[in-house]
Structure 1
Amino acid sequence: MSKTSNNRSGKGGKALPALCNVIGTAILLAVILTFLPLTAPRYMGYEVFNVVSPSMEPEIPVNSVIYVQPVRPEDLQEGDIIAFHTGSSVMTHRVMKNQTVVGELTTKGDANEKEDISKVGYTSVIGKVTFHLPFIGGLMAIYASPIGKAYALVFAACGVMFNLLAGRMRARRRERLVQEMLEGKK
């Protein structure tokens, strides 16, 4: 039997597994990094909300994600931005007055001309907005939907599959090299 060059056991056999590994890792990182700003702060005591109305523009644009830290309502100052319950929804407005004697806040949206008619009772206060990320709210809305969660799972599964494929190709290459060595080939 004559010796022949086999590109699959040479450098060419390393490129495809490496490419699959890079693609798989990139996909997994993309999925993780899109969820990170939405989930990690919750473990640090923040609540995360998506801004859907323009009442706080330009300070906080629509589709921003706000991070709300619980605070004692009596400690809130004029100018603080807060999140609070209004019926079944959450509102984000600026504190104009804190009436500690009656336990109420007067609030106003930055884009609104007048203060809010309804006062915010201390029991409705969720907390103080400590920071926000513009445009991330769109991702939050997508991932909150069943179809968004399904897409995220499919993308993550694709990333895992690419990494598994890379590992399998490397294992086959090693098996082939061992077999060639045992048969006296180089």
Structure 2
Amino acid sequence: MRRLAAALCNIFGILILAAVICSSLLLTLPKIFGYEIYNVVSGSMEPEISVGSLILVAPVQPESIIEGDIIAFESSDSVVTHRVVENKKLEGELVTKGDANEKEDIKPVPYAGVIGRVERHVPYMGEYMVIYTTNIGKVYMICFAACGAMLNLLAGRIRDRGKKDGKGCEWEKESEQL
């Protein structure tokens, strides 16, 4: 019974730690490679990019953006993701439109407001990113990692206690006698 409890604690501890590490890598590796990460909060790009998607935005020279590219740009105090309808190189601005919108955006995007081109989008992961990047989310991740580590420590204690009590498995007793 102790062996089963130790194995379960160890497995759950490893799974929790792996989940924390994988989610951390998901949000940090793209930044290492120069991408910006954003959460889509409106349905203006549906069905191509749905609300709650995580988007990876690569920096790009605005002059190289072509019709049909999806870009992220600054608008007032937020970041908007829309498709480029026209690149007005002489004026230094882009005409954009959300896929779900009937008309083009009222104001063209100046080149200075372009953050980059959307390279990838992952449905539903943007919601997770928002949780993970808040202070309380970071506290939760630290707590999850600590729980995973404690489960692994507990597994070791359970195994050690079984050996001390003499309640280990027969093959463990035989190997200790050798």
TM-score, normalised relative to structure 2: 0.87
Q: Which residues of structure 2 form unaligned runs of 5+?
A: 167-172
- How many equivalent residue pairs? 169
3-state DSSP of counterpart to 1:153: helix
3-state DSSP of counterpart to 1:61: coil
User: Residue type of the partner of 1:112?
Assistant: N
CA distance in 2, matches of 1:120, 1:130: 19
Query: Do the aligned partners of 1:84 and 1:120 also contact (CA within 8 Å) in 2?
Result: yes
Q: Percent identity?
A: 55
1:45 corresponds to: 34
1:137 corresponds to: 126
Task: Tell me how far 1:119 sits from its aligned partner.
Answer: 0.9
Q: What's the CA shift string for 1:8-36, capped at 9, x where partnerless? A: xxxx4432222111010011112223333
Q: Tell which deviates more after alignment, 145-154 or 65-74.
A: 145-154
3-state DSSP of counterpart to 2:67: coil
Q: 2:71 aligns with which of 65, 73, 82?
A: 82
CA distance in 2, matches of 1:39, 1:90: 20
1:14 corresponds to: 3
User: Residue type of the partner of 2:56?
Assistant: Y
3-state DSSP of counterpart to 2:44: helix
User: Residue type of the partner of 1:65?
Assistant: L
User: Residue type of the partner of 2:140?
Assistant: Y
- What value does the CA root-mean-square deviation take over the aligned residues? 1.9
1:151 corresponds to: 140
CA distance in 1, matches of 2:35, 2:101: 27
1:59 corresponds to: 48
TM-score, normalised relative to structure 1: 0.84
1:127 corresponds to: 116
1:171 corresponds to: 160
When Rg is computed on C-alpha atoms for both structures, the one with the higher figure is 1
Correspondence list, 1:100-111, <5 A: 100-111=89-100
CA distance in 2, matches of 1:13, 1:102: 73
3-state DSSP of counterpart to 1:18: helix
